[in-house]
Structure 1
């Protein structure tokens, strides 16, 4: 018989060591799986040939609600024990005031039941996005997992183009927007979503290269850039180039006020010369002198309609996610019948005001515009000025700019919204904590 005995402490240590590889696998699988769920969705490669104008998304996807509800519980179980300080740090005035106001608009909603259902999924997604970045124990893990997810998404999109082009490339036979024929959309439902995602994957590729993953980063960046080109997404392409330039200038522009002016001035201009043109004849006249489509591909009409509706409920809006596709749109004038089937206004700030009123818009700006910029400045000055911080800054900035022409803020499990959220939470954590290399 051996002269050695195993103490309780040793037995616990052995158990912990044996469980560690399993937990490492679980953490990695959850991170990659959630990203792919958001990016690829439960319904990739939609067949648009049978899509009708009256097919409006109602937000009643029970499977998606149930899945994210389960994921929220699992993610909290995986992260709470070791990351309670990080989770508590999320209780900031900006976040709490905005969530509190949204809850008020649900109570006062034109359709409280719809608002409540959609708020439930939004909360599930918020918690999942907030806890995702707590799964990696080091920047090395985060880099590997992010690279794997990005490459899987890109391979999926390219395989779709090669093997099922009728489901991954817009067709001239599509009932809606046949003019987009030939534009790649990959696994996504529209080429604009694909273009936005590819732009953000270019940022991921740059991050991977700078973080040491030269091979994977080059592959992600190159594949995403090629796909972006074939989507013909002019807005995303221009914004991607602009964000890369402006974010690089933060290395030489150091004062907080100068950075705020440099990064937020384009956001103001984008909104002034888009939605602002239907609010001011002067802005419309100036825009007319610029090399722009002054109808903004038909967006001007929908902005005018949405602004008219907003004027009737400036304080509370129509309730969280309770305007488009609801009974709030009634007695439409001749020529405005399309409004009954629209799903958004093509401007995230305007849609936020429609759902939560002007106070909600102000609180959203405080939570996702002002606060992340302050977090970036704090992280940068505190020594967290590496490639990861720059990745989150670029995704966040791209999302802010894109929201001047598209609408994804608070849109439950929307691909662009969740990716944007991850960047917002990433800047929040980097302003307060350090991740091991």
Structure 2
């Protein structure tokens, strides 16, 4: 049997570093002890996780017509995330392996960088586009750093537990201390949401999915020895999901768990991937397919009590009608919804929603093509969904990586299913987007490095 390659050697062996840390060489190693290095990496990773899950402006409410995708226009967020990005950049230069950083130079990531640069160059307002793209890239870098900085999988688990606990404490604490902010009040646009939990998040449609991800963290922690802490995180996250009142999110959550667990049940990653693709096709038929099939539409109404998915079908029909106007390159990143491309249209009296004042189309796939076109959209779909499937198959071939790969793929599966109802791609510092890209980078690293315990100790 061929052993997975070991990347730990030399004087670093005594520091018990993970393969991610191979290549570190300080000119005066005695200045900083291995213990202090390890603690610094755990603290930074936990802080990064908490920052992604909590943001710099918690308890800022919004409705479906005023969501801002992470409040990226806030001065507090702009300055705060720039400062955080600088801290993590310095930390990565000092604490992370050059091999890890070099692993990002893949064709798909480089093509994505070209697409972002093209979007900036062609933007009607380059200054605001640069700010938006910079915030998005910084968020992605922080997501990558939270995985790459810890010295071992055990340290990563500690950081993950601490970050998730901080987010749960913020949301549950908000329900006690500031219940008016932590729950939905009356909204003229969404009166049906009054009383539903949203915690420190801007909306229940963000709170529910992110809490699902936190519950997935709990499953991983339980499987890797943190039984009590993992169980508490799982139960707290799952309860919060139920209290957000989101039927689809509550349904996709256990479905994502069952899909990924099939890899362990059948002993093959292909079983989970096949189940994922079949489920993805089924959800596509149940959502976008309902626009073309009356039978599916009435079936959805029987199951959910609403064939329009809370008015989303109006947005999907409109999105599909606009894609042919700019099929190849799209309207530009962040340049369709909330712009004159929509504002200047006549009021749609015949539609359930006035889509002129909606900030996104509540469908990741349609909005990706609307913004980036077929060319850019194909690259982004590869980076966010297709590439991670291949990385998951590779990661599970490394025995020590199987549990952590399952966690990351569970998040990808959940995000892919939710993408038929929500939009969060490249959404600056939005928590749901950051959790998605966190899983993308996690599988990228798990496919290339051994993250878990070495099953062949030397």
Question: Structure 1 length as normaliser, TM-score?
Answer: 0.89
Other-structure match for 1:408:
424
Other-structure match for 2:408:
392
Change beyond 3 A, Cα 1:370–1:418: same
Q: CA deviation at 1:289?
A: 3.3
Other-structure match for 2:161:
147
Other-structure match for 1:301:
314
Other-structure match for 2:138:
124
> For the Cα contact (< 8 Å) 2:112–2:380, is it kept in 1?
yes
Other-structure match for 1:4:
none
Other-structure match for 2:46:
32
For structure 1, which segment, 412-421 or 114-123, has the greater mean C-alpha deviation from structure 2 after superposition? 114-123
For this pair of structures, how many residues does the alignment match?
419
Look up the SS of the partner of 1:133 in the other structure: helix
Change beyond 3 A, Cα 1:208–1:53: closer
Distance 2:275 2:209 in 1: 22
Distance 1:226 1:101 in 2: 40
1:102 to 116, 132, 137: 116
Change beyond 3 A, Cα 1:385–1:15: closer
Other-structure match for 1:272:
285
Other-structure match for 1:211:
224
> For the Cα contact (< 8 Å) 2:56–2:76, is it kept in 1?
no
Look up the SS of the partner of 2:354 in the other structure: helix
Matching of residue 136 in structure 1 with residue 155 in structure 2: no
Other-structure match for 1:8:
none
The CA deviation string for residues 29-84 of structure 1, in whole angstroms up to 9 with x for no partner, is 32222222221122212256xx7957867842233223323333322322235411
Q: CA deviation at 1:110?
A: 4.7
Matching of residue 370 in structure 1 with residue 386 in structure 2: yes
Change beyond 3 A, Cα 1:208–1:257: closer
Q: CA deviation at 1:302?
A: 1.1
Matching of residue 84 in structure 1 with residue 98 in structure 2: yes
Q: CA deviation at 1:249?
A: 0.6
Q: CA deviation at 1:325?
A: 1.0
Other-structure match for 1:358:
374
Other-structure match for 1:201:
214
Change beyond 3 A, Cα 1:63–1:166: closer
1:433 to 449, 453, 457: 449
> For the Cα contact (< 8 Å) 2:198–2:207, is it kept in 1?
yes
For structure 1, which segment, 185-194 or 100-109, has the greater mean C-alpha deviation from structure 2 after superposition? 100-109
Distance 1:108 1:14 in 2: 51
Q: Where does 1:2-21 land on structure 2 (aligned, <5 Å)?
A: 12=28, 14-17=30-33, 20-21=34-35
For structure 1, which segment, 81-90 or 180-189, has the greater mean C-alpha deviation from structure 2 after superposition? 81-90
> For the Cα contact (< 8 Å) 2:184–2:193, is it kept in 1?
yes
Distance 2:130 2:319 in 1: 22
> For the Cα contact (< 8 Å) 1:372–1:424, is it kept in 2?
yes
The CA deviation string for residues 310-368 of structure 1, in whole angstroms up to 9 with x for no partner, is 22111111111111111222232342683232111000111111110111221112111
| Residue ranges of structure 2 left out of the alignment (5+ in a row) | 1-26, 454-458
Look up the SS of the partner of 2:49 in the other structure: helix
For structure 1, which segment, 56-65 or 34-43, has the greater mean C-alpha deviation from structure 2 after superposition? 56-65
Distance 1:175 1:215 in 2: 42
1:289 to 299, 303, 328: 299
The CA deviation string for residues 8-48 of structure 1, in whole angstroms up to 9 with x for no partner, is xxx9454232xx44443432232222222221122212256
Other-structure match for 1:327:
340
Q: CA deviation at 1:386?
A: 3.0
Change beyond 3 A, Cα 1:72–1:45: closer
> For the Cα contact (< 8 Å) 1:137–1:436, is it kept in 2?
no
Distance 2:380 2:124 in 1: 20
For structure 1, which segment, 34-43 or 96-105, has the greater mean C-alpha deviation from structure 2 after superposition? 96-105
Distance 2:99 2:439 in 1: 19
Distance 2:315 2:367 in 1: 11
The CA deviation string for residues 208-255 of structure 1, in whole angstroms up to 9 with x for no partner, is 111111111111111112222211121111111101111111124455
Distance 1:334 1:223 in 2: 42
For structure 1, which segment, 30-39 or 129-138, has the greater mean C-alpha deviation from structure 2 after superposition? 30-39
